[in-house]
Amino acid sequence: METLRTFGHFTRDSLALLVRGDRYYYGWIAFLLLLMALGGFAYAAQVREGLIVTHMRDQVSWGFYIGNFTFLVGVAAAAIMLVIPAYVYHWGPIKEITLLGELLAVSALVMCLGFVLVDIGRVDRFWHIIPFVGRLNLPSSLLAWDVLALNGYLLLNWTVVTYLLYCSYTGKAYNRSIVIPLVLSSIPMAVSIHTVTAFLYNGLAARPFWNSAILAPRFLASAFCSGPAILLILLQILRRTTRLKVQDEAIFKVAELMAYTMGFNLLLTAAEVFKEFYSNTEHLVFIRYLFFGLKGHTGLVPFAWASILTGAVAFLLFLVPRTRTNWVTLNIGCVLIYASVYIEKGMALIIPGLTPDVLGDIYVYRPSLTELLVAAGIFAMGFLVFTLMLKIAVPLMLGEFPGPASKGQPLRKPAAYIS
Amino acid sequence: MSDDSSRHLRMTRRNSRRAFLGGALAAAAGALATGCGKEGMEAFLQRNFRELSRDDLDRIIRRLEGEAQRKYGRRIRIGAEPAMQGVVFGYALDLSRCVGCRRCVHACVKENNPSRDPEIQWIRVLEMEKEKGVDLEAADAYYDPAEVPREGHFYMPVQCQQCRNPPCVKVCPVGATWKEKDGIVVVDYNWCIGCRYCMAACPYGARHFNWAEPGIPSADLNPVTHYLGNRPRPKGVVEKCTFCIQRTRKGLYPACVEICPTGSRKFGNLADPKSEIRYILENKRVFLFKGELNTQPRFFYFYGV
C-alpha cells in the first residue's frame, strides 16, 4: 500500500516534469505533435477509404509500413549491444548509458506496433491477435509468435526501466536479484524478436528471395550496426543538451563493435549475392530486379547500390581506429550505416521479395503520400515517447529529480546506474 | 466423457472466458470502432465461424442478410451448407484444350460477387510461349490479341489450388482461414484482420485483398450465397476462390466449369473411384503447378490429348 502510494507520487511528479521545459523543448514537442497530427489525418483517411490510398496492391501486398516495422525491430533488438558489454563483460563506462539503450528499445517497439497496426486492413479487429482474448494461431503462424515476442520484449524493457527509475526516485537500492536476471534475459529476447521477424519472411517458400537460411543472421548483423548508429548520435546530443556524462570511451567501444557487425553484415550479403548469381536459377530474377532492374523497371536500382556503397564506406570508417575516434568521420559513419540499413530493410527486402509476383507479374511499387505521412506520424510518436521518457530519466540519472527533494527527502545520487 | 463432449466443454469454458475478456475490451473500444448501437457491438464482438453455435450463426446470418439488403437494396440469402459426407473435391484443367478465352474469369466474377470497382478477379489466365514451357518470367496475364489462341502460345489459367498443405492456412495469425472437410480452403470474412500474410505465403497469387469498399452494382449481385463463399465482403479483408462452395455443396459444378466452351475444366469427387476426376488422375499425364513447394494442390493440370 505504501509502495503503491509512493509509486503514485512518482507518476505524478514525472507527469509534472513533462510539462516543464524551455522553449526548445516545447518547440520540439510541438513539431512532433504536428507531424503526428498530419499522420493522424492521413491515417483517418486510410481507415475511411481503405488501404487503396496506399500504393500496395495484390502483387505487392506489403510495402513501406512493413519495411519500417522490420527496420525498427532491429533498432529495438540493438539495445543488447549495450547490455552485453555492460553486464556480461562488466565494462564500466557503458553501464551508465545502458538505460538509454533500453529506452530506445521501448520507443522503437512502440513504433513497430504502430506500423503493424496501420498496416492491417481491419484495425477494429486488432483484438483478434491479443492472446487469450482473440485466437492466436500458435504454434504454426510466425506472425502470432512475433506478436508474443515483441510485446514480451516491450514489457520486459518497460518493466526494467520503470523499476530502476522508481528505485532512484525513492533513493533505495534496487533489488539485484530481480534486475540482473531480467537484464540478462533481455539478451536472448532481443535476439529472438529479430529472429522471429526474419522467420516471418524466411518461412515462405513462395518467395525465394526471402527463403534463405542466412536471412535471420543477416537481420541480426544489420540490426546490431544500425541500432547503435542511432544511439551514438543520440548520446552525443544528450551530453550537449543535458548534464549527462557520457564517456568518449563508451562511444568508441560501441563504434568498434559496430565495425565487426557491419563487416559481418557485408559478408553475409556477399554470400547471398554469390549464391544467387553463381547458381543462376530462375530465382535470380528477384535480386536482378533489385540490382539491375527487370524489363525496363529500374526504380530500385539506385537504392540497392546506395545501400551497398554507404554500408561499405561506413564499414571502413568504423574499422580504422583514427576515423572511428574522429567525431566528424564517426558521425558520417553513423549516418551512412543508418542509411544503408534503412534502405536495405525498408526497400530492398520487402519489395524485391514480392516483385515479380508469384505469377511473374511486375507491379512497380513506391509508397504513396499517405504512406509517407502515416510513417512520419509514427516516427514522430516514437520520438515523442523517447523524449518524454528521457525527460524523466535524465534528471533521475543525474539525481536532480524534483519530486522527493522538494518534500524534504534526501535523494541519493545514483552515479553508475546499475552496477 | 466422450471426446466430443469434452471438446464441447472446453470450448464453452474458453468461450465464456473470452466473452468476459472480450466484453471488457468492447466496453472500451467497441462503440468507438464500429459506431454505436447493438448491431455494431454485436458485429465487433463476433467470434470466429468455427466457434459459433447454430443459434449464433443463424442470428449472425440474419444480421448480415439485413446489412446486405440495406446496402444493395436486394434480398440475398446466405447459406451455411456444411461439407457433404464422403466428398473431397478435386479439379483438373486440360492445358491442351484451353484456348485462353477467359470466359471462366467472367463467369467467376458474375457468380462470386467480387468487387467490380476496384476490380478483383479470382482466376488469372497466363499466356505462355510454347517454346519456353511453364516459364513465369515469359508469362503474360494481360494479353489482348484480336483472336485466341495465338500462334505459338498456350494458356494456363491459375486460381486457388485448394492445397492439401496450404501455406496460407499455416501462416494466418488468427485462424481466419482453414481447410474444410471437403478440401475447400475458406476465409471467415468476419474474422480476418487484413494482415495479408496469407497473400505473401500463397505461391499461386490466389488470394485477393479488398483494398477499398467493394463496388458491385446491385443489379449484378448474385443473391444466392454461402457464408464461407460468395456473400458480399467488407473492405479490408482477404478473399479467394472456394470452388464455388455455394454451388458445389449442392451438387452443382463451379461456374468456371459450367461456362468453359472447350471442356478444359473438369470437377468432381476425389473420394469416388468412379468419378471423372479419378479417371483423369489415373489415365492422363498430370502435373502440379510448383509441385516442388510441396503444397499438394487439389487442382491438377493435365494433357488430355
Task: Note the pLDDT of residue B36.
Answer: 59
pLDDT in tens, A47-88: 999 999 999 999 999 999 999 999 999 999 988 888 888 888
A307/A345 Cα distance (integer angstroms): 10
Beta strands per DSSP E along A302-366: none
Using CA coordinates, name the residue in chain A closest to B50.
A135
pLDDT in tens, B217-270: 999 999 999 999 999 999 999 999 999 999 999 999 999 999 999 999 999 999
CA distance B13 to chain A (A): 12
Count of A-B CB contacts under 8 Å? 157
pLDDT in tens, A248-273: 998 999 999 999 999 999 999 999 99
Q: What is the CATH number of the domain that holds A270?
A: 1.20.1630.10
Contact A133, A139 (CB under 8 A): no
Across the interface, whether the CB atoms of A132 and B21 are under 8 A apart is answered: yes
Backbone angles phi, psi at B187, to 5 degrees: -125, 135
A109/A86 Cα distance (integer angstroms): 22
pLDDT in tens, A215-227: 999 999 999 999 9
Task: Note the pLDDT of residue B32.
Answer: 52
Confidence band for B9, pLDDT divided at 50, 70 and 90: very low
Given B18, B22, B33, which is nearest A124 (Cβ)?
B33
pLDDT in tens, B58-96: 999 999 999 999 999 999 999 999 999 999 999 999 999
Structure-block grid coordinates of residue A317: 570508417
Across the interface, whether the CB atoms of B211 and A147 are under 8 A apart is answered: no
Please state, as a whole number, how many other Cβ atoms lie within 10 Å of the Cβ of residue A31: 13
Judged against a pLDDT cut of 60, whether residue A409 lies above it is answered with no
Contact A4, A374 (CB under 8 A): no
A360's torsion region: left (phi>0), alpha (psi -120 to 50) or beta? left
- Residue B76 CB partners (closer than 8 Å, separation 6+): B65, B68, B69, B221, B223, B224, B225, B231, B232
Beta strands per DSSP E along A210-348: none
What SS3 state is found at B230?
coil
Q: What is the pTM of this model?
A: 0.92
| Mean pLDDT for chain B overall | 91
Please state, as a whole number, how many other Cβ atoms lie within 10 Å of the Cβ of residue A268: 19
Using CA coordinates, name the residue in chain A closest to B237.
A121
Task: Note the pLDDT of residue B69.
Answer: 96
Given B191, B211, B213, which is nearest A128 (Cβ)?
B191
Task: Note the pLDDT of residue B1.
Answer: 37
B240/A322 Cα distance (integer angstroms): 59
Mean pLDDT computed over A328-350: 95
Please state, as a whole number, how many other Cβ atoms lie within 10 Å of the Cβ of residue B153: 18
Nearest CA-CA partner of B126 in B137, B139, B109, B145:
B139
Contact B48, B193 (CB under 8 A): no
Domain span at residue A331 reads 2-417
B99 vs B22: which has the higher pLDDT: B99
User: What is the value of ipTM here, to two decimals?
Assistant: 0.92
Tally of structural domains, chain A: 1
Q: Output helix, strand, coil percentages for chain B, rounded to the nearest 5.
A: 35, 15, 50
Structure-block grid coordinates of residue B125: 489466365
A155/A160 Cα distance (integer angstroms): 9
A108/A102 Cα distance (integer angstroms): 10
Given B175, B204, B235, which is nearest A135 (Cβ)?
B175
Across the interface, whether the CB atoms of B48 and A135 are under 8 A apart is answered: yes
CB distance from B172 to chain A under 8 Å?
Answer: yes
pLDDT in tens, A332-341: 999 999 999 9
A134/B174 Cα distance (integer angstroms): 7
Contact A115, A398 (CB under 8 A): no
- Residue B274 CB partners (closer than 8 Å, separation 6+): none
CA distance A43 to chain B (A): 14
Across the interface, whether the CB atoms of B192 and A52 are under 8 A apart is answered: no
Between positions 24 and 83 of B, the ones with CB within 8 A of A are: 25, 29, 33-34, 44, 48, 51
B196 vs A contacts (CB less than 8 Å):
61-62, 119, 121
Q: Which helix (H) or strand (E) holds B209?
A: strand B207-209
What SS3 state is found at B1?
coil
What SS3 state is found at A79?
coil
B179/B64 Cα distance (integer angstroms): 23
Task: Note the pLDDT of residue A83.
Answer: 84
B122 vs A174: which has the higher pLDDT: B122
Q: Which helix (H) or strand (E) holds B16?
A: helix B3-34
Given B51, B202, B237, which is nearest A122 (Cβ)?
B237
For chain A, give the percent of residues with pLDDT over 90: 74
Given A52, A57, A359, which is nearest B158 (Cβ)?
A359
B202 vs A contacts (CB less than 8 Å):
206, 358
Nearest CA-CA partner of B240 in B164, B170, B160, B156:
B160
Tally of CA atoms within 13 A in the half-sphere of A58 that contains its CB: 24
Q: How many residues comprise chain B? A: 305
Task: Note the pLDDT of residue B234.
Answer: 96
pLDDT in tens, B139-174: 999 999 999 999 999 999 999 999 999 999 999 999
Across the interface, whether the CB atoms of A50 and B174 are under 8 A apart is answered: no
Task: Note the pLDDT of residue A342.
Answer: 95
Task: Note the pLDDT of residue A149.
Answer: 95
Structure-block grid coordinates of residue B85: 459426407
Mean pLDDT computed over A370-386: 97
| Mean pLDDT for chain A overall | 91
Judged against a pLDDT cut of 60, whether residue B15 lies above it is answered with no
Across the interface, whether the CB atoms of B195 and A127 are under 8 A apart is answered: no
Mean pLDDT computed over A316-323: 96
- Residue A316 CB partners (closer than 8 Å, separation 6+): A323
For chain A, give the percent of residues with pLDDT over 70: 96
Using CA coordinates, name the residue in chain B closest to A52.
B211
B299 vs A20: which has the higher pLDDT: B299
Q: What is the DSSP letter of B140?
A: B
